[in-house]
Amino acid sequence: MLLGLKSKQQQSPLWNRYLYLTNVSWKDNREDSMTLAAYKEKMRELPLVSLFCSCILPQPKENPSEKKAGVVDLNLCIIRDMEVIELNKRASGQAFEVILKPPSFDGGPELRATTPPRREPSLEEIQKKLDAAQERRKCQEAELLKHLAEKREHEREVAQKAVEEQNNFIRLAKEKLEHRMELNKEKRQAHLAAMLERLQEKDKHCVEIVCCVVTWVTATKQHGEVPAPCPSVLTLSSERLVTTNANGNIHTRSLSPWTWSSTTKEHRIPSTIWEAECSVSYCSEPSRPGGARNNAVPIHQNLLVLHRRQGENCYVASYQMVSVGCTCVRPEVVMSV
């Protein structure tokens, strides 16, 4: 059984000494059938043979060629400051416990904790330190004030820029709105001017037609048949309808009589206009005379009338609503709950 010892030098921070840590390893030589320790153990079991062999046979010497580097036989050497205790045997081999002895301080230098004496500062040094601290404090305050001033200046610039952007936006929006209003106003004025121009052209065309008609009618009355002087003319019939009976009905379904009344005005064609006035307020149906009472209402019709302009031979055409008869209508019945 061979043990391998490896020593490591380490400096202890407590005692300023060097400790030697030794790792012990064992190696079982499987090449030899029996080691020296096993052989001795076997011989001790036989007292007579062991005694006889110990007297006759000398101690066997170890072959130096079989030694390896870092391997020490514990039975042949003595290691100081180390105690080896054999533990319980195992089937795979043997185990050992290595106990190192504590270091001894005999003969070592005595350690004394000595500190250099502290020198008392002078008044000048204290004053210099106070002045330096005051300068540092002033520098820090100046830097802080400078930082605050820069921050306030930045905030002021940001606020001013925001106000300028808002003012620019308001100005641009106002300009766009004014431009749009001007465009709408111009379009509206142009549209109104175009409408007025079209109306004036229509009025002028109507006046020209009426003047042409009046001139043609006058020339026809004086000189007989005269061709129309303009492409569009208004033909006025010289015949006048004469009502043989002043009282009558507009059709057979109506039993509401009426009377005629006339109005005459100068500078108007026709100068005399006849209108119908209902004689009664109520009437009855022809199928049931004297039956249900109906309302008598006038019948209106649009009549084209020409009015002469003052001091001119031109006329302006317009429609006038006149009553041409009366009829019966059923009254509306309102149901009350």
- Tell me the per-residue pLDDT of 144-167, one tens digit each, with 9 for 90 and over: 999 999 999 999 999 999 999 999
Residue 80 has pLDDT above 70, yes or no: no
- Mention every residue, 6+ apart, whose C-beta is less than 8 A from residue 269: 236, 305, 306, 308, 315
Element (H, E) at 18: strand 18-27
At 82 the pLDDT is 60
Greater confidence, 90 or 304?
A: 304
pLDDT band for 244, please (50, 70, 90 cuts): very low
> How many angstroms separate the CA atoms of 230 and 82, rounded?
153
At 239 the pLDDT is 37
At 314 the pLDDT is 67
CA distance from start to end of the chain: 135
Residue 17 has pLDDT above 50, yes or no: no
In the chain, the domains with their CATH numbers are 2-100 (no CATH), 258-329 (2.10.90.10)
> How many angstroms separate the CA atoms of 36 and 52, rounded?
18
H helices of the chain, where? Answer: 36-45, 47-56, 123-223
> How many angstroms separate the CA atoms of 4 and 82, rounded?
14
Q: What is the CA radius of gyration of the chain?
A: 73
> How many angstroms separate the CA atoms of 151 and 124, rounded?
40
Number of H helices, E strands in the chain: 3, 11
Residue 259 has pLDDT above 50, yes or no: yes
Greater confidence, 241 or 98?
A: 98
> How many angstroms separate the CA atoms of 2 and 75, rounded?
9
- Mention every residue, 6+ apart, whose C-beta is less than 8 A from residue 49: 43
Residue 135 has pLDDT above 70, yes or no: yes
Question: Which range has the worst mean pLDDT, 74-88, 117-131, 172-186, 254-268?
Answer: 74-88
Answer for the pair 314, 210: CB distance below 8 angstroms, yes or no. Answer: yes
At 15 the pLDDT is 42
At 171 the pLDDT is 94
- Mention every residue, 6+ apart, whose C-beta is less than 8 A from residue 256: 249, 278, 279, 280, 283, 296, 297, 326, 327, 328
Angle, alpha carbons 234-237-242 (nearest 5°): 145
Mean pLDDT of 252-257: 58
Residue 214 has pLDDT above 80, yes or no: no
Mean pLDDT of 181-201: 90
pLDDT band for 54, please (50, 70, 90 cuts): low
- Tell me the per-residue pLDDT of 102-124, one tens digit each, with 9 for 90 and over: 666 565 555 665 777 788 888 99
Beta bridge partners of 298: 326
> How many angstroms separate the CA atoms of 257 and 286, rounded?
13
What percentage of the chain has pLDDT greater than the value 70?
44
At 22 the pLDDT is 44
**pTM of full prediction above 0.85:** no
Q: What b/e string do you get for 64-77 counting C-beta neighbours within 10 Å, with b at 16 or more?
A: eeeeeeeebebeee
